[in-house]
A = this chain, B = another copy of it.
Amino acid sequence: MSRLVFTLATLLKFGTSEPTENPPKTPRINPLESEKHKMAKRKPKYVYFFGGGKSEGKAAMKELLGGKGANLAEMSSLGLPVPAGFTITTETCDAYYKLGRKYPSELAPQIDRNIRKLESLTGKTFGKGANPLLVSVRSGAAVSMPGMMDTVLNLGLNDVTIKTMIENSGNERFVWDSYRRFMQMFGDVVLDIEHHDFETALDKVKLARKVENDTDLDTEGLRDVVKAYKNVYKKAKKSFPQDARAQLQLSVNAVFSSWNNARAIKYRQLNDIRGLLGTAVNVQEMVFGNMGNDCGTGVAFTRNPATGINKFYGEFLMNAQGEDVVAGIRTPEPISQLRKYDAKCYKQLLAIRSKLEKHYRDMQDVEFTIEKGTLFMLQTRSGKRTAAAAVKVAIDMMKEGLITEKEAICRVDPKSLDQLLHPQFDTKAEKTADIFATGLPASPGAATGQIVFSAHKAEEWNDMGLPVILVRTETSPEDIGGMDAAKGFLTAKGGMTSHAAVVARGMGKCCVAGAGQCNIDYKKKTLTVGKTVLKEGDWISINGSLGTVYAGKLPTVSPTLTGPFNQIMKLADKHRVLGVRTNTDTPADTAVAVRFGAEGIGLTRTEHMFFEGDRIISMRKMILAEDQTGRKAALKTLLPLQRKDFIGIFKALKGRPATIRFLDPPLHEFVPHDKAGQAEMAKAMGVSPKVIKDKVDSLHEFNPMLGHRGCRLGIYYPSITEMQARAVVEAAYAVPGAKAEIMIPLVGNVGELANQKQIVLDVIAQVKAEMARKGKKKAPPIKIGTMIEVPRGALTADEIAKEAEFFSFGTNDLTQMGCGFSRDDSGRFLKRYVELGIYDNDPFQTLDRGGVGQLISIAVEKGRKTRPDIKLGICGEHGGDPNSIEFCHNVGLDYVSCSPYRVPVARLAAAQAQINNPRKKKAVKKSKKK
Enumerate chain A interface residues (CB-CB to B < 8 A).
701-708, 712, 715-716, 746, 748-749, 751-752, 755, 790-792, 795-796, 799, 813, 816-822, 824-826, 828-829, 832-833, 836-839, 848, 850-852, 854-855
Contact = CB atoms under 8 A, between A and B. Distances in A.
A708 B819 contact: no
A706 B708 contact: no
B822 A702 contact: yes
A822 B701 contact: yes
B822 A792 contact: no
B791 A701 contact: no
Contacts of A818: 790-792, 795, 817
Given A715-B832, A748-B819, 20 more contacts: A702-B705, A702-B824, A703-B705, A705-B705, A706-B822, A707-B825, A708-B825, A708-B828, A715-B833, A715-B836, A716-B828, A749-B819, A749-B839, A749-B850, A755-B838, A790-B818, A790-B820, A791-B817, A791-B820, A817-B817
A704 B746 CA distance: 20
A417 B837 CA distance: 50
B702 A838 contact: no
B703 A824 contact: yes
Nearest to A708: B829
A131 B927 CA distance: 82
Nearest to A813: B820
Contacts of A795: 818, 850-851, 854-855
Contacts of A748: 819-820, 851
Nearest to A713: B829
Nearest to A814: B791
Contacts of A792: 818-820, 848, 850-852
Contacts of A791: 791, 817-820, 851, 855
Contacts of A716: 828-829, 832
A793 to B, nearest CB: 8
A576 to B, nearest CB: 29
If over half of A's interface residues share one DSSP class (helix, strand or loop), that class is named, otherwise mixed; here it is: helix
Enumerate the 6 nearest inter-chain pairs by beta-carbon distance, A residue then B residue, closest first: A751-B838, A792-B851, A706-B822, A703-B822, A707-B825, A702-B824
A836 B755 contact: yes
A825 B751 contact: no
23 contacts: A701-B824, A701-B825, A703-B705, A703-B816, A705-B705, A705-B706, A705-B822, A706-B706, A706-B820, A706-B825, A707-B822, A707-B826, A715-B829, A715-B838, A749-B833, A751-B833, A790-B819, A791-B817, A791-B819, A792-B850, A792-B851, A813-B820, A817-B818
Contacts of A828: 708, 716
A441 to B, nearest CB: 44
A716 B830 CA distance: 10
Contacts of A826: 706-708
Nearest to A705: B703
Given A837-B751, A838-B752, A746 B820 contact: yes
A514 B651 CA distance: 77
A331 to B, nearest CB: 49
A825 B716 CA distance: 14
A837 B751 CA distance: 8
Contacts of A820: 705-706, 746, 748, 790-792, 813, 817
Contacts of A746: 820
Contacts of A715: 829, 832-833, 836, 838
A825 B668 CA distance: 13
Contacts of A712: 829
A855 B855 CA distance: 11
Contacts of A707: 822, 825-826
Nearest to A707: B825
Contacts of A751: 833, 836-839
A701 B816 CA distance: 14
Contacts of A836: 715, 751, 755
Contacts of A848: 792
A749 B837 CA distance: 11
Q: Determine which residue in A712, A791, A816 has the highest number of CB atoms from chain B within 10 A of its CB, and name it.
A: A791
A823 to B, nearest CB: 8
A667 to B, nearest CB: 12
A852 B855 CA distance: 13
